[in-house]
């Protein structure tokens, strides 16, 4: 019943099909792989970086999305988002319950952290990485509780993970810290570490080695293994300008909730003097630090925090007692939640309407019916959808590709209306512009005699040059 309640919460939040713009180029890439049976090695979607080296670093996740889209279009993608999100939430519940030994405490921890977790639920390959991380933590916790065979689940999981999302490097780090936490007997205040037995130490080390051996088993060889390090160290412009890479916004509700949870956990520690395993405390500190630095790393904070929060709740929440079950009430609650989900299951028309609220669906329909000259400058958030619909783009969500080629810097100069923005547009030979209808660039273009607005709706606007650059050059 508690698990169904968590699924109901996830359904309520994710049925609205609020997805990241990157979804669409992921689906397009997966479809290309399914059709050609080849993995891309050069950019096929933009006119600014066309033909330049590029690899589909998350090709397996892309392929899954494409298969789902083949089965049922965008409605199937919405249902897949709901199902994948629910699976992650149930896995968090299981992890917290395993660590605390109390299903009700595990439910309370998962329920409180669900607001932070759901904020990260989006139909991108990182969702698979999130699930794989929680499954890794579950396997390690089961091993600690005496299920020696649980570790053999990890090598095949990492083989899938390395081909799905770059967060596999975090998973390897978790396994290493788990092993390190049992190498020595340590007592540091409330932190403790009990040494592994010889057989346990050998088993963990061997499984870690097997996981490490899966790293080069990709269509791109070891190049794919370098991708997470490239993103972390060689893309300063992407990290400083893209929203998910920005520091935790403590002025917003999500940031305040995150800060409140961290403060309450440290207050509980000061008041209760709880003992923690060295490895789990190190992971909690790592998750907290990375989430403060980059918002997207709430994906790490939640699974590293849920088990500790459940352990704290055990002091006040009694354990599950089957004798006290009220089966009819539980059944009624479950039927109510499941019935509500079936009743409010998103229809195709509902999902299409949500699409129009987030992406330039109607603008693309206009371009299909009216000649709009190219090349076209597009908003960063619109690029993925344009790729999916078969249009060449100035830029999309593959920021690492565009930063290496200097296009991202030019895009930011144009989009932020910095001095020389119109000259940069001219240098690319841009004949049309598709941006949000309230973008600052739109104000500049509307005031310029060189441009005229030919289309607008509640979300987007299209501008074209009053006189084509080629015609002007021949005068």
In the chain, what are the domain boundaries? 2-336, 359-474
413 with 424: CB under 8 angstroms? yes
CB 224 within 8 A of CB 162: yes
The pLDDT profile of the chain, 475 residues, written as one tens digit per residue, is 999 999 999 999 888 888 889 999 999 999 999 999 999 999 999 999 999 999 999 999 999 999 999 999 999 999 999 999 999 999 999 999 999 999 999 999 999 999 999 988 989 999 999 999 999 999 999 999 999 899 999 999 999 999 999 999 999 999 999 998 888 888 888 888 888 998 999 999 999 999 999 999 999 998 888 888 777 666 777 777 777 778 888 988 889 999 999 999 999 988 888 889 999 999 999 999 999 988 888 889 999 999 999 999 999 998 888 888 889 999 999 999 999 999 999 999 999 999 999 999 999 999 999 989 989 999 999 999 999 999 999 999 999 899 999 999 999 999 999 999 999 999 999 999 999 999 999 999 999 999 999 999 999 999 999 888 865 443 3
Task: Tell whether omega for the bond before 375 is within 30 degrees of 0, i.e. cis.
Answer: yes
Contact (Cβ atoms closer than 8 angstroms) between residue 394 and residue 377: yes
Q: Which residues contact 67 (CB under 8 A, 6 or more apart)?
A: 30, 34
**Residues 381 and 415 sit within 8 Å (Cβ to Cβ):** no
- Residue 177, both tokens: 């810290």
CB 347 within 8 A of CB 73: no
Q: What residues have CB less than 8 Å from 326, skipping those under 6 apart?
A: none
Q: Report the predicted TM-score, pTM, of the whole model to 2 decimal places.
A: 0.93
> In which residue are the tokens 């607001």 written?
115
Residue in this structure with the two tokens 């070891």, named with its chain if needed: 222
Q: How far apart are CA 119 and CA 115, in angstroms?
A: 6
Strand order in the sheet with 451-456: 376-378, 432-436, 460-465, 451-456
């Amino acid at each position: 019943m508690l698990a169904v309640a968590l699924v109901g919460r996830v359904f309520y939040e994710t049925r609205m099909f609020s997805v990241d713009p990157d979804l669409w180029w992921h689906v397009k890439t997966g479809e290309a792989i399914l059709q050609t049976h080849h993995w891309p090695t050069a950019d096929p979607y933009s006119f600014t970086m066309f033909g330049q080296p590029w690899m589909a670093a998350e090709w397996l996740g892309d392929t899954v999305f494409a298969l789902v889209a083949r089965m049922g279009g965008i409605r199937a993608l919405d249902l897949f988002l709901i199902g994948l999100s629910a699976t992650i939430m149930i896995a968090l519940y299981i992890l917290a319950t395993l660590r605390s030994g109390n299903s009700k405490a595990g439910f309370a921890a998962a329920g409180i952290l669900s607001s932070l977790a759901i904020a990260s639920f989006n139909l991108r390959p990182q969702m698979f990485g999130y699930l794989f991380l929680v499954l890794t933590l579950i396997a390690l916790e089961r091993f600690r509780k005496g299920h020696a065979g649980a570790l053999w689940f990890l090598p095949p999981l990492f083989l899938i993970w390395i081909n799905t999302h770059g967060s596999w490097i975090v998973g390897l780090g978790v396994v290493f810290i788990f092993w390190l936490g049992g190498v020595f007997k340590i007592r540091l205040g409330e932190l403790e570490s009990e040494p592994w037995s010889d057989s346990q130490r050998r088993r963990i080390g061997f499984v870690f080695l097997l996981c490490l051996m899966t790293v080069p088993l990709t269509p791109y060889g070891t190049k794919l293994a370098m991708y997470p390090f490239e993103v972390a160290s060689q893309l300063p412009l992407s990290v400083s300008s893209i929203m998910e890479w920005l520091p935790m916004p403590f002025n917003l509700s999500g940031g305040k909730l995150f800060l409140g949870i961290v403060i309450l956990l440290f207050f509980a520690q000061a008041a209760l003097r709880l003992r923690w395993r060295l490895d789990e405390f190190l992971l909690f500190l790592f998750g907290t630090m990375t989430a403060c630095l980059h918002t997207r790393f709430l994906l790490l904070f939640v699974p590293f925090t849920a088990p500790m929060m459940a352990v704290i709740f055990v002091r006040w929440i009694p354990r599950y007692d089957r004798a006290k079950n009220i089966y009819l009430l539980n059944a009624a609650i479950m039927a109510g939640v499941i019935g509500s989900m079936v009743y409010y299951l998103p229809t195709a028309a509902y999902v299409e309407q949500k699409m129009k609220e987030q992406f330039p669906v109607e603008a693309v329909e206009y371009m299909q019916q009216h000649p709009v000259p190219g090349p076209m400058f597009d908003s960063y958030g619109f690029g993925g959808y344009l790729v999916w619909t078969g249009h060449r783009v100035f830029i999309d969500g593959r920021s690492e590709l565009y930063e290496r080629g200097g296009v991202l810097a030019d895009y930011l100069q144009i989009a932020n209306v910095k001095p020389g923005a119109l000259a940069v547009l001219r240098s690319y030979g841009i004949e049309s512009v598709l941006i949000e209808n309230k973008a600052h660039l739109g104000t500049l273009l509307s005031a310029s005699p060189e441009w005229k607005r030919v289309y607008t709706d509640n979300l987007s606007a299209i501008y074209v040059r009053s006189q084509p650059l080629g015609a002007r050059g021949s005068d």
